[in-house]
């Protein structure tokens, strides 16, 4: 009798929880996307010393094209693509994938996944600046404050050594990695700017990603014909290396981008953009679990400040 009396309550609680999840579905999907991107970054970090950035980029783009092209076929996205939109998407791929992906992998290899995720927050300020310079968009005081917070968070997390990590040649500021990270952010911002006309015209997101990834895959495959050792590297690698590379592509471009597109389709763009930019915060526990060493307090605080800055820019 007791179990029968409790059963309606349990059903009521389940329905309430289900409705609550539906109400915040886009927010949950956005945070899941940030988690997937952080996971992808960690997997890429494991490939350091096993495969060079050009070979990794080639694998990633081929895998990304296969995943997104298949998704586009499933949802019928190729029917939304018109000839004039290809040019915008190809140029977007040149900046946002061919250049930015290469420097992104290089940044992870040289500055680490945590710092690279933080530097990726610069994409929003650069996109805001390009929108102002190229498209004549207005920049509000709130967005300007957001840019300041993003820069402050990055400087605070990367530029201040802790007592347990004194500044030295090995533990000081990773300037080369920072340079790669900045180039990545600029490339991503330029890629987004170039893709805007095509996306505004209604191109299905998976189809747009398939075009961009496909063009990048062609470039990286063609580059193997050049007489440059780093580009032509085809030395044998362990099966685990292939698994890590394809896993990073799945979590980053495959699952991560799918969750982000689903979140944008059903949620507020500003809120989704903010929550999906939480990668610098989400990745910190992953780094802690992987290394067994807790990130310094400045890393946590800097990442939170950078995400708050992105929120001010996006909302």
Give the integer Cα–Cα distance in Å for 282 and 288.
Answer: 11
Residue 184 lies in a domain: yes
Residue 296 lies in a domain: yes
Instruction: Please give the DSSP secondary-structure letter assigned to residue 295.
Output: P
Give the integer Cα–Cα distance in Å for 305 and 150.
Answer: 7
Residue 82 lies in a domain: yes
Q: Are 166 and 107 in contact (CB under 8 A)?
A: no
Q: Report long-range pairs for 138-141 (Cβ below 8 Å, ≥24 apart).
A: none
To which H or E segment does residue 125 belong? helix 123-134
Closest CA to 274 of 222, 225, 315, 228: 315
pLDDT, tens only, 248-296: 888 887 787 777 767 766 666 667 677 777 888 888 999 999 888 888 8
Q: Are 62 and 303 in contact (CB under 8 A)?
A: no
Residue 26 lies in a domain: no
Give the integer Cα–Cα distance in Å for 62 and 215.
Answer: 10
Residue 170 lies in a domain: yes
Structure tokens at 170: 């090995």
Q: In total, how many domains does the chain have? A: 1
Residue 29 lies in a domain: no
Residue 301 lies in a domain: yes
- The boundaries of the domain holding residue 169 are 53-314
Helices (H), 225-296: 229-232, 239-249, 257-266, 269-276, 279-291
- How much is the CA Rg of the chain, to the nearest whole Å? 21
- Residue pLDDT tens, the chain, 315 long: 444 444 565 655 555 554 544 556 777 888 888 899 889 999 999 998 888 888 898 988 898 899 889 988 988 888 888 888 899 999 989 998 899 889 999 999 998 888 888 888 888 888 888 888 877 778 788 888 988 888 888 888 876 544 444 443 445 677 888 899 999 989 888 888 888 888 778 788 888 888 988 999 999 999 888 888 777 777 778 888 888 988 988 888 778 777 776 776 666 666 767 777 788 888 899 999 988 888 888 888 888 888 888 888 877
pTM over the 0.85 mark: no
Residue 28 lies in a domain: no
């Amino acid at each position: 009798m007791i179990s029968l009396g409790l059963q309606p309550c349990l059903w009521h609680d389940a329905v309430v929880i289900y409705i609550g999840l539906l109400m915040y579905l886009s927010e949950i999907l956005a945070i899941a996307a940030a988690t997937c991107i952080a996971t992808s970054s960690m997997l890429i970090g494991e490939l350091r010393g096993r495969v060079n950035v050009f070979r990794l980029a080639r694998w990633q783009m081929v895998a990304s094209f296969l995943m997104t092209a298949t998704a586009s076929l499933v949802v019928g996205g190729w029917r939304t693509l018109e000839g004039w939109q290809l040019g915008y998407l190809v140029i977007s791929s040149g900046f946002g994938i061919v250049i930015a992906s290469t420097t992104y992998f290089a940044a992870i290899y040289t500055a680490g996944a945590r710092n690279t995720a933080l530097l990726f927050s610069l994409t929003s300020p650069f996109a805001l600046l390009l929108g102002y310079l190229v498209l004549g968009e207005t920049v509000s005081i709130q967005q300007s404050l957001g840019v300041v917070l993003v820069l402050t968070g990055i400087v605070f997390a990367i530029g201040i050594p802790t007592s347990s990590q004194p500044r030295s040649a090995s533990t000081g500021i990773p300037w080369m990695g920072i340079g790669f990270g900045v180039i990545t952010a600029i490339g991503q911002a330029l890629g987004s700017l170039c893709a805007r006309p095509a996306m505004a015209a209604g191109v299905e997101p998976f189809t747009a990603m398939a075009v961009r990834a496909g063009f990048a895959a062609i470039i990286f495959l063609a580059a193997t014909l050049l007489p440059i050792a780093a580009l032509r590297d085809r030395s044998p690698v362990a099966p685990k290396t292939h698994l890590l590379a394809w896993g990073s592509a799945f979590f980053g471009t495959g699952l991560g981008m799918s969750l982000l597109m689903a979140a944008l389709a059903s949620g507020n763009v500003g809120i989704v953009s903010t929550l999906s930019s939480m990668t610098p915060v989400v990745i910190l526990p992953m780094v802690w679990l992987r290394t067994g060493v807790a990130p310094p307090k400045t890393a946590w605080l800097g990442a939170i400040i950078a995400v708050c800055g992105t929120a001010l820019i996006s909302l």
